[in-house]
Amino acid sequence: MSDNTALVPVNLNQLPSTQLGTDEQFADLAKGSDFLSRLQLFTKSKVNQQGLIPQGHYGIKESEEEITDLGTSVDILPLARRPKAIDMRDMQAIVVSYDRASKTFQEIEERAKTPNSHCQAGISFLVYERSTGRFLEFFCGNTSALREAKRLFPYLPLTEGDIQRRAEAGEDVSGLEPRKYTPVTLRTKLTENRYGAWHAPVVTKCSTPFPKVPSDEAICKQIMAFLTVKDNGVERVEEEADSGRVR
């Protein structure tokens, strides 16, 4: 095998830098679009059978042929949450609703109670994943994931606005103070019943600090985009369904 470094006529150690701009700027540009990729726990799915990722592993579906394998545990920063209902009966025209008070959401939520309905309703989280340095959506839409979703709530940031909203709703807010996000480790466990076995997420407190996180400005930008609802909270997704991306 030839040594390609021989083709470089200069000593690279003499260069002061190989880029103009910050790493964060390049990471933002490399996204290519405003769509969020999804952090998923893959179990008993087609991609497992295809050998793209082992069962019980977390991953990010980049395309029909590529999945970024993150292993059996991931460290995340939970940043925001929203309701989400998704109707996948027609994969060429997927319907997504973020307004639980809407007729569309309620119809999908009702259909989701029927097995093999290709509909799900649950909680969508905006998270920042440590190893990839990416903002992602983590959707808890099945029974096992929803049982664990509430364990993520205490790790979400709490703002003055959140406290005021709770007070206006008549909740007891005594002792509540604003807090930042707290690192979480998502693990997996094998769950089974008389119908079969599958992997479910497990929420645990992260024991390893995040040495580097995005700027407050970048986090606020992502949270605002995540919580901004358009078209009365209903989206009709076509191409993004295959790549596992949402916004």
pLDDT tens track for 12-43 = 566 566 677 777 677 666 655 567 899 999 88
Residue range 219-227: average pLDDT?
93
Q: Which residues pair with 204 in a beta bridge?
A: 185
Burial class (CB in 10 A: 0-12, 13-18, 19+), 1: exposed
pLDDT tens track for 35-76 = 789 999 988 777 786 777 888 899 999 988 888 999 999 999
Q: What is the pTM of this model?
A: 0.81
Q: In this structure, are residues 202 and 73 in contact, taking their beta carbons and an 8 Å threshold?
A: no
pLDDT tens track for 83-92 = 999 999 988 8
* Confidence class for position 169, pLDDT limits 50, 70, 90: very high
pLDDT tens track for 55-66 = 889 999 998 888
From residue 98, give the alpha-carbon distance in Å to each of 119, 125, 138, 143. Answer: 14, 12, 14, 19
Angle at alpha carbon of residue 49, lines to 47 and 52, rounded to 5°: 45
Mean pLDDT taken over the chain: 84
Residue range 155-162: average pLDDT?
92
Please tell me the distance from the alpha carbon of residue 143 to that of residue 76, in angstroms, as a whole number. 21
Residue range 127-134: average pLDDT?
95
